[in-house]
Amino acid sequence: MKITKDLVRKTIKKIAPLVEKESQLKTNLKRYNVILTTPEEIASARNISISLAENFTGSYKVDFEKSLIFNRRFIFPKNFNCITKTFKMMISHEVMHNAQFEIFPYLITLTSNLKKALKTNPNDENLKKEKKSLDYLIEGDARLVENNLSKRYFSIQGDYFAKLKSIFGEEKDSVYTAGERILRDKFKGNRKDINELYTAPIEELVKIFSC
Ligand SMILES: [Zn+2]
């Protein structure tokens, strides 16, 4: 399947209502850019090898162009080789990120502040735990939503992430899988309870995700 900007836009349009239904969050996807990149560009932006970049999946970016106006970007590799169902999963994950940041924009500020603080104090255990807990919530919930949607609407035989895991390594993937597992175990997929985590104090998230 060849990924084109048009295909990305059409798929986002189809998937957004499903993400809204599943997450009970509004996606508000009105203005966004679709960018197709080469593996070389991904490799240099992420500081990874070109062979790893060739397998890079979706990437969603939101920047502050002007204060309070988001510049949203859906970034996909030009030559990524995947089946339609896998592509729908990737889009579900990235659209869920849009919903998270649309409704809870301070998550962006908090993530960036924690990153900055960790650069200055790389050994601060508290900061590490706070950053990890936030990643668990953001990535774990995006993974939870994409997996639930996949089961219901575009189920894939076998483990979609088995290949990615072998490429990215277990550690890189753990924030996704562990985050999803904790959300499933502790909240039984209850959307109301999970969505309340987005406004919970960071100390609360540390308690929930530190296990
Ligand atoms: Zn993600």
Where are the domains positioned within the chain?
Answer: 5-209
Ligand 1 centre from 32 Cα, in Å?
17
Ligand 1 centre from 102 Cα, in Å?
15
Looking at residue 20, what is its pLDDT? 97
| Contact (CB, 8 A) for 96 and 17 | no
Ligand 1 centre from 57 Cα, in Å?
10
Between 152 and 168, the more confident residue is 152
Check residue 55 and report its DSSP letter.
Answer: T
| Contact (CB, 8 A) for 74 and 58 | yes
State pLDDT tens for residues 34-73. 888 888 888 888 788 887 777 667 777 776 555 455 678 8
130-157 burial, b at 16+ Cβ within 10 Å, e below that, comes to: bbbbbbbbbbbbbbbbbbbbbeeebeee
Which sign, positive or negative, has the C-alpha torsion 138, 143, 146, 149? Answer: negative
Residues whose Cβ atom is located within 5 A of ion ligand 1: 139, 142
Ligand 1 centre from 21 Cα, in Å?
19
